[in-house]
Chains A and B, each alone.
Chain A
């Protein structure tokens, strides 16, 4: 199948995703990832900690672990779509970061993403594909933050590459 042989133009891909996102907005709400990831964190924490998780106010007042939270399934769908695309196009294979510095950067990067999402209540997806197209003030605040952060991150990345 041609679709799995050639790389798709991202403008076409994102246009289709945008139209699908409008339907999602009408049915349940706009595309977001951070909320679903937070709920997954809560569910995993509850699995390991049991009722002790209830002693942490965040998981009582902000995110009460609930497997029926629809945003979780967007992330699981993306994982599934990624697997299908990779397998069908014969691009699935195990890859590991090679250098210690890569492991360190990914670890710090992951932690900052998690802390940043919860501090802001939004992620990059809800910033660009939810809040800003709804002309939400939070979208403009978040865009200014993410561009500044991406610039600082890029300078660190550039230095790490010795550019």
Chain B
């Protein structure tokens, strides 16, 4: 029998009882909709987090002091008898394909300017920070490339810090006292936002050597190296290792590439999205049970039809596919409806809660439909087999 004819026969059976079919379809569509909605949220969060991370560019390698890692942060960051120095960061500039090297120290301090005071973050960095982190200057200039032993007491304000301390006044040329030391403000950064709890706008940027003095530290907390797009990351990592081992005598540092972090993060988020999809699938399971039940009833009701078809010469297989077809069509329509509900629902949610990112990749929608069809297949198989096995005589006996 032709597939188109088989499908037509199946569909005509379904649409004969509109309410029943609608309810069955509704069941599946709720399941699909919740899966699509939840994974949209998961995918949205995934993209959002990745975007947050990659806003600094993906060609960055981070070097931190110390090798042992407790809870993901190396204790060497806090105190180490073998420090990571500014001279280390200057030496790293020599590595082929390295475009920018940024030493960094971060801490908390009280700052006073324009007769106002505020406690917030001090970020000691090198002159190449803006280009390495794609972080642009808004007015003035950034820290100059001074000799690290004699770096001038200059400071660059983050956008929010400038607002808090100076409101609309121009801070350039003014003095700011940080932890008791005086710095001259030479620039203001563009607003950048928060990343993972670090508010880059509520920060003052000073030379790394000055920050080390301020916090009474010997070691930098991190050195970031930005390399040329397209270069071999592995080679660069090895070059860094060689250079630092030569300078330190051994490998007392940790190298993390942006890609590594992205991969780890990506995996975690994928697992979360998957878990959330599994949750939604519970509804799908119940929807499948629904199709199974309705099809069983349908077959009970239509025994004489089955007998008739057999009398007309229909083979067992044809009966099987007729009823299986009904289950699949029901599920497919439910899947399609659920897809639309889920997608629209995700968009509505995003409008209602703009902070919640959503994204529904086309492949998820196709997958959802495919899953729906598979559910139809699986839940329809038992009833269809039952129908096919019916002996024509038994079927025709009922009126």
- Tell whether A pairs with B: no
Q: Which residues of A contact B (CB under 8 A)?
A: none
